[in-house]
Homo-oligomer: A and B are copies of this chain.
């Protein structure tokens, strides 16, 4: 049986975050000691790792909740899980290509000034001027 602090230490998830997940219905309501402190078992550790992993992958909590509700399910209901994975993948891809365009532009901006600073800085101008951009980046 783990205290919330031990659970936190083993998963890297902060203590208030664990309580927050419980409040949101993502973590099961744990047993309590006589003194009202939470005690967790192995399955809670697995659940928390699941949440953490899905969050690392960028899923919003409601998608995580949807996946949790599918745990142990079989049959066509599982299409939902695939949808979530596929959707997230395309969101991610769109995000990546946008960010790459922005990185490219930031590179241009960062080198736009010769460092002399004896004039109005080109960096500021570049931040302000969308029309300088070679590619589109307002997705």
Contacts and interface: CB of A to CB of B under 8 A. Distances in A.
A122 to B, nearest CB: 10
B58 A124 contact: no
Taking residues whose C-beta sits less than 8 angstroms from the other chain, chain A's interface range is 35 or more
Contacts of A71: 124
Interface of A, secondary structure class, is: helix
Contacts of A106: 57, 85, 88-89, 92
Interface string A123-139: 11001111000000110
A123 B82 contact: yes
Interface in A91-139: 92-93, 95-96, 99-100, 102-103, 105-107, 109-110, 113, 115, 117-121, 123-124, 127-130, 137-138
Given A89-B110, A105-B57, A70 B124 contact: yes
Interface stretch (A16-24, A29-37, A47-55): A47-55
A44 interface: no
